[in-house]
Amino acid sequence: MIVLGIETSCDECSAAVVRDGHEILSNIIATQIELHKPYQGVVPELASRLHTEWIAQVVEAAIASAGITKNDLDAVAVTSRPGLLGSLLVGVSFAKFYAKALGIPFIGIDHIRAHLYASQIENPLEYPYLGVLVSGGHTVICKVNSYDDVDVLGTTIDDAIGEAFDKVAKFYDLGYPGGVVIDRLAKNGNPTAFLFPGPSLDKDEHMYDMSYSGLKTAVINQKDKFRTEGAEDTPENIAASFQRQAVGILMKRVKLALKDTGLKRVSAGGGVAANSLLRAELKDLEKSGYTVTFPSLKLCTDNGAMVAGLGYRYLMDGKSDDDFLSASARVTAFKKF
Ligand code: KG4
Ligand code: ZN
């Protein structure tokens, strides 16, 4: 089964062709990053306008570089929630009419589940496993029971982890998008130059919940209070010290959740899963007997291949959507304990 996957939930206009859920024939990602750069953040109105202008060409490019024609497609999968509503609507409308014109089924895909599924395309992992979804919009630790069934154990109670990376980078004018820049700068910095507040656990009922606004505020407004004696106030040191704690907050909950649930497998997804420190710390869990997977870098950030891959699973189970498929900005993927 050859599935076209379309992703337009934020600032990446992407289309991919995936055969049988795992063979990526093409994965075109037209990023709008340069066009949002002057604003140091995604401008929703601009994003949807660019998707409208680009989507047809991106889909054509995905089909051409897969070496097929549109008549070879068996189905279309499209991100339909959550995300920027105007951007989602472009993808959903396009996918619906494209599929109808070809007389093939289409299915709306949840972006969060797609990020959690991304690593399954390249490195299938047996269910259940501990899912770590870390992106610009979400920070979730969950028990992934199947491609469609996710129990949330903990989430951020304020900023998403990627949002914290982006806001710190924006404040210090380090560059955009913030996560990639901080990751790069941190490699040449001292992670203990600033001892920012770290991964203390709340003693309330939601042990796996996290907060990133305290860390972000400390880095932005009270930096000097946390500087260790003699440490230099450089972008590299700020980046390394912030990143150490941002990853530390997450990893502490991940380790606790693994211990409490008894799960032996872990998989990460989302843009921040591209972070080199987080990847190294997750990989380190293998020394304690856990199996760890994450997507290759291209499948961490938003892409059509994860949408096509997950779409394939639903379609194989006989599911598809009807003409009433719409876009939704809201998160619906999870039930929370
Ligand atoms: O998954 P994604 O492309 O979009 C959302 O669904 O949010 O994630 C984008 C986020 C941004 O906040 C970006 O700064 C962050 O992922 N990111 C990173 C890295 N690469 C992307 N954060 C930390 N380290 C990275 N290497
Ligand atoms: Zn995403």
- pLDDT by 10s per residue, the chain, length 337: 999 999 999 999 999 999 999 999 999 999 998 999 888 888 999 999 999 999 999 999 999 999 999 999 999 999 999 999 999 999 999 999 999 999 999 999 999 999 999 999 999 999 999 999 999 999 999 999 999 999 999 999 999 999 999 999 999 999 888 999 999 999 999 999 999 998 876 555 568 999 999 999 999 999 999 999 999 999 999 999 999 999 999 999 999 999 999 999 999 999 999 999 999 999 999 999 999 999 999 999 999 999 999 999 999 999 999 999 999 998 776 654 4
Instruction: Say yes or no: 209 and 260 in one domain.
Output: yes
CATH of the domain at 216: 3.30.420.40
> What's the domain range around 103?
2-115+299-316
Q: How far is CA 54 from the centre of its chain?
A: 22
Minimum-distance ligand to the CA of 139?
1
pLDDT (0 to 100) of residue 234:
97
Q: Ligand 1 pocket test: which of 301, 306, 307, 331 has the largest number of ligand atoms within 8 Å of its C-beta?
A: 301
Residues 288 and 308 reside in one and the same domain: no
165 in ligand 1 pocket by Cβ < 6 Å?
yes
Distance (Å) from CA 128 to ligand 2 centroid: 22
Q: Which ligand is nearest to the CA of 268?
A: 1
The answer to whether residues 288 and 148 belong to one domain is yes
* Protein residue with its CA nearest to atom 23 in ligand 1: 179
Separation of alpha carbons 181 and 138, rounded Å:
19
Is 231 within a domain?
yes
Q: Do 255 and 196 share a domain, yes or no?
A: yes
**Residue 337: its pLDDT value, please?**
40
Residues in the chain: 337
Is 12 contained in some domain?
Answer: yes
Asked if residue 181 and residue 260 are part of one domain, the reply reads yes
Token pair in block for residue 210? 């996290």
Provide the terminal-to-terminal Cα distance of the chain, rounded to the nearest Å. 36
Residue 327 in domain: no
Please tell me the predicted confidence (pLDDT) of residue 74.
98
Q: Are 293 and 130 in contact (CB under 8 A)?
A: no
The number of distinct structural domains making up the chain is: 2
- What local confidence, expressed as pLDDT, does residue 37 receive? 86
CA 335 to chain centre: 19
Q: Are residues 182 and 90 in the same domain?
A: no
Is 178 contained in some domain?
A: yes
Answer yes or no: is the C-beta of 10 below 6 A from any ligand 1 atom: yes
Q: Which amino acid is present at 172?
A: Y
> Is 121 inside a domain boundary?
no
**289 and 304 assigned to the same domain:** no
Determine the pLDDT at residue 244.
Answer: 98
The amino acid that residue 331 corresponds to is V
| Nearest ligand (C-alpha, residue 179) | 1
Residues 6+ apart with CB under 8 A from 101: none
Q: Is the domain of 155 the same as that of 280?
A: yes
- 15 and 72 in a single domain? The answer is yes
